[in-house]
């Protein structure tokens, strides 16, 4: 059974940094593309980053470019999101999600809450 488990969320001050992790199991992690999607409290879903299976292709939404870095370690079945220069508007639940080419996000983690506040 496919499982994705996020960790690393918490309370951080504006301008601070946080590193999220997503541990994958139940599938051959190294053959799937992965994503981070976030959801601000009471709001809709926002895709923020994509990474190909071999890390050769990476995309970001404009609002996080230059501040967030997605990476993966296929040997450890893990996905990461390094978040720097955090802003109030980055407060959200962050989900990792597996994707199939153009066929949507078929498995999601339970999410980890990031709160940016002074």
Q: How far is CA 12 from CA 25, 36, 84, 111, 114, in A?
A: 29, 19, 11, 17, 8
Residue 62 binds to another protein (criterion: CB under 8 A)? yes
Residue 27 binds to another protein (criterion: CB under 8 A)? no
Q: In angstroms, what is the minimal distance from the CB of 87 to another protein?
A: 18
- Of these, 20, 92, 95, 116, which contacts another protein (CB under 8 A)? 95
Residue 105 binds to another protein (criterion: CB under 8 A)? yes
Q: In angstroms, what is the minimal distance from the CB of 14 to another protein?
A: 24
- How long is the chain? 118
Give the residues lining the site for another protein (CB under 8 A). Answer: 35, 37, 44-47, 50, 59-62, 95, 99-100, 102-106, 108-111
């Amino acid at each position: 059974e496919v499982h994705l488990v996020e960790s690393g969320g918490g309370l951080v001050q504006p301008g601070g940094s946080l590193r999220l992790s997503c541990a994958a199991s139940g599938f051959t992690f190294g053959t799937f593309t992965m994503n981070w999607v976030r959801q601000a409290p009471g709001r809709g879903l926002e895709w923020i980053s994509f990474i190909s299976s071999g890390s050769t292709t990476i995309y970001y939404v404009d609002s996080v470019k230059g501040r967030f870095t997605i990476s993966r370690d296929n040997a450890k079945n893990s996905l990461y999101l390094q978040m720097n220069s955090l802003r109030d508007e980055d407060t959200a639940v962050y989900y990792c999600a597996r994707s199939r080419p153009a066929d949507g996000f078929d498995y999601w983690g339970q999410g980890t809450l990031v709160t940016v506040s002074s």
